[in-house]
Amino acid sequence: MMVKKVLHSLTLNGEEVQVATAAGATLLQTLREDLRILSSKRGCNQGVCGACTVLVDGTPVRACLTLTARCEGHAVQTMEGMDGDRVMATLQRHMVQSGGVQCGFCTGGVLISARDLLEADPTPSREAVKTALSGNICRCTGYRTIVDAVCGAAEELSQ
């Protein structure tokens, strides 16, 4: 098994990057091993836990199930590239205040899913928040304070 590397061009957090990555690598592998983008976490590598969730062309996807080759020419966005995003900043602040961050391993994925929800539905019900976050497993919080944070952020943003 020789490691064959392939060169891909994509937009990462607003910047054009060229990256040499193992042929057939997942986006999660490329981000972490080749680009040292570490906010996307490997919690399961099976698409279940949501800790690796990133945006491709603005849509949340599992980095662990996405091939880097498929991202050729597309825009990938991770938590590292969220500076200046008002919705994300508000969500982050509410998460800090509500206690929705415990070990933090799920947090990046949770926030990316939550931001996607608020873009689609700025005033979600608590049920809608729980549904939108149901693909992000959190083993620490019991979800209550996370839902509080997302609802709090939604309320603040919609004022």
Q: Which of residues 33-62 bind ligand FES (CB under 6 A)?
A: 42-45, 47-52, 62
8 belongs to the binding site for ligand FES (CB under 6 A): no
Please, where are the H alpha helices in 26-98? 27-29, 86-98
> Minimal CA–CA distance to 87: which of 149, 154, 146?
154
Binding site for ligand FAD (CB under 6 A): 47-48
Q: Are the CB atoms for 147 and 128 separated by under 8 Å?
A: no
Minimum gap (Å) between residue 115 Cβ and another protein: 12
Candidates 106, 114, 147, 149: give the one binding ligand FES (CB under 6 A): 106
Beta strand 5-12 pairing with 75-77 = parallel
Candidates 9, 48, 123, 158: give the one binding another protein (CB under 8 A): 48
Instruction: Tell me, by CB under 8 A, how many residues bind another protein.
Output: 86
The Cα–Cα gap between 104 and 47 comes to 18
Contacts to ligand FES by CB under 6 A: 42-45, 47-52, 62, 64, 102-107, 138-141
